[in-house]
Amino acid sequence: MKEPLRMEAALDDQTAVGYLAGTEGAEQELEASDAAVSFLSSIEPAELQKCVFADSLVTVSEGGRDLGEFNAAVEFAHRGQPCMMLHAQSQGAIDDCPCGTTVTVYLTTDLEVLEEDHHEYVKLKGHSVDKRCHMVQREGQMVIRKVTTVGEEVTEESISYPMSVLRGLVTEGSSLLLMRLMALRKKVPENMTFVSLDQGLHIIHTSFRELDQKQLEVGAELLEVFGVERIIHSVEGSPSTWQCYYLDDGHLASRVQVGSPVTMRLLELPSKTEKVDFKKIPLVWEEDMQMRSKFLDRKEELKADHSSYLRKHPEIRALVSDFLQLLLLRKPDDVFLFTRQYFTSFVSRCPPEPNPEAQSL
């Protein structure tokens, strides 16, 4: 395998401006619109509760041939703080070449990205293409690492953006939950422009708009569906456009990239009795301020109590000190046997306990 090619960059607030549009010396920083930022800040916990469910679609060609499947699920999680987790996966084959995409993202309740892992691959005849991108918030920065493997050639890219220039960031993972929220509200406000990252890790604009309602056949029923369009801009190429349609309850009914012969669609209506499997979130007490405070208080209370007892019984320290000194001098192979024999000798020094049966005679 060839040696990896590497490109590393760290951007502060000032130098980032020149990189935001993919060219040095750019005069205007790309920003999310006020409407987009306002939408994120308006999200209520009750709305997120309604988003906790799974979608499952099939991927079909224009001729109706089954090519694969698409799944997306949202659940509550914990990543240093209570948050939302979305996991989506698309897999199948195009022209008999296996391909797939997997994304897992952890989000705050206002959809700020805490961490995301994005993986996509295509297994072509003769060689494969594999792309992995991982981003994580760390000390006020969004640290991003991308590894691209084409055949045997590996390219690594690393970059770090200040969170101040990523206000209103929408990623592949967070966009799925964002559109689910829009569908539940049955409204996409005007001028919904967010910032995102393209394949070259440049900051770009991503915009959303409401589509005209239409009827879609799901199973044996013809239903009214709500549409949301996402336009992903790019510095290095043409924009890509995705159109998604949703049922009244927020379930995804159709998903397609404009210009692609492949469509993802819902075959059957979700069960009305569908139950959400709420996984138990592990308790990380060290990161819970209230529980950590109680732990520290209790710890100090026990230390004070133990210290007080040792002061009242100085013979404990002398006893333990003598035992350790003898143990280190003898260095017995069986420490447990030695310890039992050592402390058994003190039993004979203790006065016999009164016999209750003898006292009753």
pLDDT at 283 over 70: no
Residue-level pLDDT at 349 = 57
Which of 270, 254, 109, 260 has its CA nearest to residue 178?
Answer: 109
Of the candidates 245, 254, 251, which has an alpha carbon nearest to the alpha carbon of residue 272?
251
pLDDT of residue 272: 56
Section 20-32 average pLDDT: 58
Contact between 147 and 117 under an 8 Å Cβ cutoff? The reply is no
Domain ranges of the chain: 10-272, 287-352
pLDDT tens-place string over residues 174-221: 999 999 999 999 999 999 999 999 888 999 999 999 999 899 988 888
Lowest mean pLDDT of 64-73, 91-100, 186-195, 244-253, name the range. Answer: 91-100
Query: How far is the C-alpha of 154 from the C-alpha of 149, rounded, in Å?
Result: 4
Q: Give the closest residue to 53 by CA, choosing from 32, 71, 28, 78.
A: 71
Q: pTM of this prediction?
A: 0.69
Q: Do residues 9 and 159 lie in contact, with contact meaning Cβ atoms separated by under 8 Å?
A: yes
Question: Which residues share a beta bridge with 154?
Answer: 149
Residue 227: is it exposed, middle or buried by C-beta count within 10 angstroms (0-12/13-18/19+)?
buried
Highest-confidence segment of 12-16, 199-203, 284-288: 199-203
Q: How far apart are CA 31 and CA 208, in angstroms?
A: 15
28-83 pLDDT per residue, tens: 578 999 999 999 999 998 999 999 999 999 999 888 888 899 999 999 998 878 89
Mean pLDDT of the residues in the chain: 83
**Per-residue confidence band for 95, with pLDDT thresholds at 50, 70 and 90:** confident
The owner of tokens 């992903």 is 232
| CA atoms of 172 and 190, how far apart (whole Å) | 21
Q: What is the tens place of the pLDDT at every residue in 254-281?
A: 999 999 888 999 988 887 545 445 445 5
Residues of the chain above pLDDT 90, percent = 51
